[in-house]
Amino acid sequence: MSRWHVGPAAKPPTQQGSNRPGILPCQGGSLSDSPKVRANDYPFDPICVGQPQTFPEPFVQRADSSQLQTTNLDSEVRLGFAHRVRFTRDAFDLANPALRDVFGGDSDIATRRAVAFIDSGLLQATEGEIANRLRAAFTAGGRSLPQLVEIVAIPGGETAKESHEIPDIVLQLVNHHKICRKSFVIAIGGGAMLDAVGYGAAISHRGVRLVRMPSTVLAQDDAAMGVKNGINRFGKKNFVGAFAVPYAVLCDEVLLETLPDAVYRAGFSEAVKIALLKDPAFFERLERDAARIASRDGAVANPAIRRSAELHLRHIIDGGDPFEANEARPLDFGHWAAHRLESMSAFSISHGDAVGLGLLLDCRYSNLKGWLSDADFARIRAVIAALGLPMRHALFADHAALLAGADEFREHLGGKLTVTMLRGVGHGFEVHELDHALVRQAAVELS
Ligand SMILES: NC(=O)c1ccc[n+]([C@@H]2O[C@H](COP(=O)([O-])OP(=O)(O)OC[C@H]3O[C@@H](n4cnc5c(N)ncnc54)[C@H](O)[C@@H]3O)[C@@H](O)[C@H]2O)c1
Ligand SMILES: [Zn+2]
């Protein structure tokens, strides 16, 4: 029998517990009886913990066995979504058809409305020019584009995901501008604000159309490809969120030109991750081009971003698990520790840097386990170093806090712990337990 009993407010009160409407007070036990609930985390009145609730009258009239029948209408829901993903250069150049093309599938586009959200980092780096160019492109696009009703600046970086504030701003503007499900939210920025604005779009009217224009390397080579939106809560990454397929993703390489070096380079950790899992030839290209990529040579960096995006996209589309119902999540290779390092650092370590560190940890662990050869581990270290990513972090010294990340990761995915490890370049596989002593050894070396 469940230890939690929730019933209508009209049931008779008992001697202790809550007077809150709609919640049955407890007959016995207390909040502290529950091993799962600690008072500090849980500022609400207990519903009922401890002794099972008894009612003076039966809550449900007992049926005789002939009435206990179930009608089974089980069905399979098959969903088909278009996932429009385009890479271009200078989407707001009036001669570039890319912007009109992404909206071109809707014959009533002239009647639609759009509200645009721009990452404040991008806005500052372009001294507001990005907003002017967006406005000019929509004006010139006339009836081939939706009517752009407002442009709003959104704080960039992880702060965008720290509270419900950004999704709430999206909700308010969707309401204010009467953005219907056929109309658009346009988000232009880094992965964090795309996640937060995307979540606001996903919950407005249960989903208005979202057009993402990612403006960081990481957002173009990974984050914007996915169908995930969300914000952080309880100090945990992506605790709140929704799966929703965007209406379109338009990646513009011009947007990357104003990125600070560290943000630019950090995004290539996701390219290393996907190359290690799925494409040894791509990994060899990264090895060869890493120094040029770190010095922002677009001739090699932009194709690498596109290849990484394509591999992420193919996994999401063809991998058979776009909404992550399975326990295995290969795209989260290196991420159990990465997410933990981000939250341990109060999000001062960027996601890209944390993924690089998380990859180093899991590759060294694979090496210590005897799965990954010394030579392959040395290649992986070398490519991460040549890309200019951090190679160690003091927070690795806090083993206990780090290892708690594995449990958090398991809880987020559901089911049993499933972490990707490496047998060689292009050969990831799943494990269901971690040898804590070896994780500690790998972490000590990286601290
Ligand atoms: N939804 C997904 O599937 C998915 C996948 C991977 C990562 N993510 C999330 O993405 C986030 C990380 O995204 P990120 O690496 O893009 O970093 P970010 O969004 O935190 O942005 C980093 C910094 O760059 C600034 N910025 C953005 N574009 C700029 C530009 N063109 N010029 C100058 N400054 C600019 C931002 O204002 C911010 O200060 C994390 O929250 C991560 O969890 C989501
Ligand atoms: Zn990631």
Q: Which residues of 164-179 are buried (b: 16+ CB within 10 A; e: fewer)?
A: ebbbebbbebbeeeeb
Which of 263, 264, 270 gets mutated to test ligand 1 (max ligand atoms within 8 A of its CB)?
Answer: 263
Question: How much distance in Å is there from the Cα of 264 to the middle of ligand 1?
Answer: 10
CATH number at residue 350: 1.20.1090.10
The protein residue with its alpha carbon nearest to ligand 1, atom 12, reads 191
265 domain-assigned: no
Same domain, 43 and 118: no
Same domain, 368 and 305: yes
Question: How much distance in Å is there from the Cα of 195 to the middle of ligand 2?
Answer: 12
Question: How much distance in Å is there from the Cα of 434 to the middle of ligand 2?
Answer: 21
Q: What is the CA radius of gyration of the chain?
A: 25
Length of the chain: 447
Domain count, the chain: 3
Same domain, 179 and 240: yes
440 domain-assigned: yes
Please report how the helices 374-386 and 268-278 are oriented relative to each other, as an axis angle in degrees rounded to 10: 150
Q: Which residue, 55, 71, 97, sits at the end of a domain?
A: 55
pTM surpassing 0.95?
Answer: no
183 domain-assigned: yes
Same domain, 245 and 148: yes
Same domain, 207 and 287: no
Q: How far apart are CA 427 and CA 311, in angstroms?
A: 15
Q: How far apart are CA 403 and CA 396, in angstroms?
A: 10
Question: What is residue 318's predicted lDDT score, i.e. its pLDDT?
Answer: 86
Question: What is residue 275's predicted lDDT score, i.e. its pLDDT?
Answer: 98
Same domain, 253 and 136: yes
Same domain, 306 and 233: no
234 domain-assigned: yes
Same domain, 201 and 340: no
Question: How much distance in Å is there from the Cα of 166 to the middle of ligand 1?
Answer: 15
Find the ligand nearest to 221 CA. 1
Q: How far apart are CA 170 and CA 133, in angstroms?
A: 22
Find the ligand nearest to 355 CA. 2
Find the ligand nearest to 269 CA. 2
Same domain, 304 and 247: no
Q: Are strands 113-119 and 147-154 parallel, antiparallel or unpaired?
A: parallel
Question: How much distance in Å is there from the Cα of 220 to the middle of ligand 1?
Answer: 9
Specify the ligand 1 atom closest to the Cα of 229. Answer: 1
Question: How much distance in Å is there from the Cα of 216 to the middle of ligand 1?
Answer: 6
61 domain-assigned: no
Same domain, 395 and 359: yes
Please report how the helices 268-278 and 298-318 are oriented relative to each other, as an axis angle in degrees rounded to 10: 60
The residue to which tokens 């940890």 are assigned: 361
Question: How much distance in Å is there from the Cα of 393 to the middle of ligand 2?
Answer: 18
Q: Which residue, 55, 74, 99, sits at the end of a domain?
A: 55
For 255, residues 6+ apart whose C-beta sits below 8 A from its C-beta are: 122, 130, 188, 213, 214, 215
Question: How much distance in Å is there from the Cα of 90 to the middle of ligand 2?
Answer: 26
pLDDT in tens, 348-364: 999 999 999 999 999 99
67 domain-assigned: no
Beta bridge partners of 241: 230
Specify the ligand 1 atom closest to the Cα of 161. Answer: 41
Q: Which long-range contacts (CB under 8 A, 24 or more apart) does 311-315 make?
A: 311/274, 311/275, 311/278, 311/279, 311/282, 312/221, 312/222, 312/225, 312/226, 312/270, 312/274, 313/83, 313/85, 313/225, 315/274, 315/278
442 domain-assigned: yes
Q: Per the structure block, which two tokens stand in for 274?
A: 């996907």
8 A C-beta contact, residue 353 and residue 388? no
pLDDT in tens, 224-254: 999 999 999 998 889 999 999 999 999 999 9
Question: What is residue 34's predicted lDDT score, i.e. its pLDDT?
Answer: 44
Find the ligand nearest to 335 CA. 2
Question: How much distance in Å is there from the Cα of 67 to the middle of ligand 1?
Answer: 57
Per-residue pLDDT of the chain (447 residues; tens, 9 = 90+): 333 333 333 344 444 444 444 444 444 444 444 444 444 566 676 666 666 666 667 667 777 888 888 999 999 888 888 999 999 999 999 999 999 999 998 999 999 999 999 999 999 999 999 999 999 999 999 999 999 999 999 999 999 999 999 999 999 999 999 999 999 999 999 999 999 999 999 999 999 999 999 999 999 999 999 999 999 999 888 999 999 999 999 999 999 999 999 999 999 999 999 999 999 999 999 999 999 999 999 999 999 999 999 999 999 888 878 888 787 788 899 999 999 999 999 999 999 999 999 999 999 999 999 999 999 999 999 999 999 999 999 999 999 999 998 888 888 777 789 999 999 999 999 999 999 999 999 999 999
Q: How far apart are CA 262 and CA 352, in angstroms?
A: 9
Sign of CA dihedral 291, 192, 198, 113: negative
Same domain, 334 and 423: yes
The protein residue with its alpha carbon nearest to ligand 1, atom 13, reads 191
Range of the domain at 392: 283-319+326-446
CATH number at residue 251: 3.40.50.1970
Question: What is residue 149's predicted lDDT score, i.e. its pLDDT?
Answer: 98
The protein residue with its alpha carbon nearest to ligand 1, atom 4, reads 223
Same domain, 171 and 226: yes
φ, ψ dihedrals at 232, nearest 5°: -90, 155
62 domain-assigned: no
Find the ligand nearest to 120 CA. 1
Using a 6 Å CB cutoff, which residues line ligand 1?
Answer: 119-122, 125, 156-158, 161, 189-193, 195, 215-216, 218-219, 222-223, 226, 228, 237, 255, 258-259, 263, 267, 350-352
